[in-house]
Structure 1
Amino acid sequence: MQGNQKVIDHLNQQLTLELTSMDQYLAHSKMYEDWGINKLHDRLSHEYEEELGHAKRLIERILFLEGTPDTASRKAINVGNNVQQMHENDLEAERVVAASLTKIIAICETEKDYVSREILEDLLEDTEMDHIYWLEQQLGLIDKVGIHNYIQSQMGSQDG
């Protein structure tokens, strides 16, 4: 089905953001693993997988609309030097993703591409309710219990 080029272009812009977030989560996940902060490693590995899932959905939609997915483009990632900075950088990246999703949802509405809009609404809900909410919660915990207690609480295995 030949899709609207404006929608395809914006879906590709969103794909770039999702892939960039995925790269940043991968870097932070591996840093947490190296530092022995296992719960954060597990959580960021999960976030990486979710971003990969978002990217797959966008690629599938772009292909359905007979567009060419741009899987090579990335924005610069912001790798932190410590746990708090890493959470702050991830939160900022997710806020950029959410703002972009909101903008593209409106474009899809204007262009009457309701299926793309619905896919993007699902991604926005996941971004806001899972990713952003969790990161805000973690930064709140750091404020409440202090960075050392927070890190200690994140050192055990996710299962234990």
Structure 2
Amino acid sequence: MQGSKKIIDLLNKQLTLELTSMDQYLAHSKIYEDWGLEKLGQKLTHEFDEELDHAKAIIERILFLEGQPDTASREAIHVGDNVQQMLENDLAAEMTVAASLVNLITECEKEKDYVTREILETLLDDTETDHIYWLEQHLGLIKLIGLQNYIQSQMNGDAAT
């Protein structure tokens, strides 16, 4: 089914953001693991996997709309020097992703592409309720208990925390 060129182009821009976030999560997860912060490493590996799922959904939709997915483009990633900076950089990236999704959903409405809109609404819900919420929660914990206590709390455990 031939889709709107405008929507395909915007989907490719969204794909770039999702792949960029994926790369940043991968870098941060490996740094956390290297520092012995197993909980953070596991959580960001989980986030990497979710970003990959987002990218797959966008690629599938671009292909359905008879477009060519751009899997090579990336924005600059922002690897932090410390735990708090890394979490703040991840939050900034997710806020950019969410704003882009909102814009793309609005354009889908204008183009009457309701199926793409529905796919993107699912991604937006995940971005807001899982990624952004978790990052804001953990940055709040740093303020509440202090950076050193927070770091200590992330030294071992499972990815569900």
TM range (shorter): over 0.9
Separation in structure 2 between the aligned mates of residue 139 and residue 2 of structure 1, nearest angstrom: 44
Q: Which residue in 1 is equivalent to 2:40?
A: 40
Indicate yes or no: 2:114 matched with 1:117. Answer: no
Separation in structure 1 between the aligned mates of residue 100 and residue 52 of structure 2, nearest angstrom: 17
RMSD, aligned CA:
1.0
| Structure 1: gaps spanning 5 or more residues | none
Tell me the TM-score normalized by structure 2: 0.98
Separation in structure 2 between the aligned mates of residue 49 and residue 120 of structure 1, nearest angstrom: 17
Residue 158 (structure 1) shift: 1.2
Helix, strand or coil at the partner of 2:11: helix
Q: Which residue in 2 is equivalent to 1:67?
A: 67
Q: Which residue in 1 is equivalent to 2:53?
A: 53
Tell me the TM-score normalized by structure 1: 0.99
Identity %: 71
Question: How many residues are matched?
Answer: 160
| Structure 2: gaps spanning 5 or more residues | none
Helix, strand or coil at the partner of 2:77: coil
Separation in structure 1 between the aligned mates of residue 23 and residue 121 of structure 2, nearest angstrom: 22
Separation in structure 1 between the aligned mates of residue 66 and residue 156 of structure 2, nearest angstrom: 47
Residue 157 (structure 1) shift: 2.5
Q: Which residue in 2 is equivalent to 1:85?
A: 85
Separation in structure 1 between the aligned mates of residue 106 and residue 94 of structure 2, nearest angstrom: 19
